[in-house]
Amino acid sequence: MQKFFRNTLLCLTVFCLIPGLKAHAQDNAPAIDKDYFRKMEDSLLVTADSIYNIMIPDFRTEQCELFVKQLIRTLKTPGSYNYPFDSLKKTINIVSSPDNKFRIFNWPLAYSDVRVRYYAAIQMNEPELKLIPLFDKTDMLSKPDPYKECTSNDWMGTLIYNIIPKETEEGTVYFILGVNNGNPISNKKMIDPMTFSGNSVRFGAPLFAMGSMESPDKPVNRFILEYKKEASVGMNWDAEYNAIVYDELASEVNDPNRKYTYIPTGQYNGLRWSNGKWRVIENLIPVMELKDGAAPDAGK
């Protein structure tokens, strides 16, 4: 355990250097040197592959530290925000906000088959390089907390796969959709509100018109689906339904308190943005009930 935290601290220390970076101005920078960025991207790809595939966990941490250094050096180069890193996207997650205000570099570091920590850095679309590192602290929580308000220093880490911006009275809120597979018996998918304040970010806000199992009348600050490790659970934006569509879950042993027994019921619910909050739409996609021997009508 001491080695786990020592290695983690070593890798995070590199990220701690990011906020003080003052890179070359990018607003008046010449056209980007694509050949240079391709070479840097090739180096990043080799290191990222080692993070995932080296058998010895301690060596993965070393490669993660190297990757962070390479990423900082690459992003300090003028014009870096305009380079898409299309090849690197096949190995790590690079997700841009729909309004192009920022993008997030995001990857997991597996310390064992069941211990995973998530790394992320937000690159702002600004004249000078501005990176905001996110530090995953979910391993310090006894269970997922739908009410905890977090900063970049105690982020509830996920592998991010979508960003949905919404306008509120306080400004733009970016809803971060991600999955956390770091628990040995359950997985979690989350919708976490993220807001910017100067050079920092905050996570969690009462923008969901539903409570938790423990406090049904208290609006949650983030939406969490926790479910059985082997289950396949969907949750993503669907333009056709103008909602975030997700699998309804229920305990396969009829015990609501044991989230690690939750599996999809076959019904799809949704979250629709209305009057400044996400509101649950139950049975958003009705389950087609068929008579014995009948086949579904593909035209319906």
Query: How many CA atoms lie less than 13 Å away from 77 in the CB half-sphere?
Result: 19
Average pLDDT of the chain, as a whole number:
88
pLDDT grade for 272, boundaries at 50, 70 and 90: very high
pLDDT of residue 224: 97
pLDDT grade for 64, boundaries at 50, 70 and 90: very high
pLDDT of residue 288: 58
pLDDT, tens digit, 9 for 90 and up, residues 190-248: 999 999 988 899 999 999 999 998 899 999 999 999 999 999 999 999 999 999 999 99
Whether pTM exceeds 0.85: yes
Query: Which residues neighbour 170 within 8 Å (Cβ) at sequence distance 6 or greater?
Result: 195
Please state, for a pLDDT cut of 90, what percent of the chain lies above it.
73
Q: Is the pLDDT of residue 132 over 70?
A: yes
pLDDT, tens digit, 9 for 90 and up, residues 152-192: 999 999 999 999 999 999 899 999 999 999 888 999 999 99
pLDDT of residue 290: 45
pLDDT of residue 112: 73
Q: Is the pLDDT of residue 28 over 50?
A: no
pLDDT, tens digit, 9 for 90 and up, residues 30-60: 477 899 999 999 999 999 999 999 988 889 9
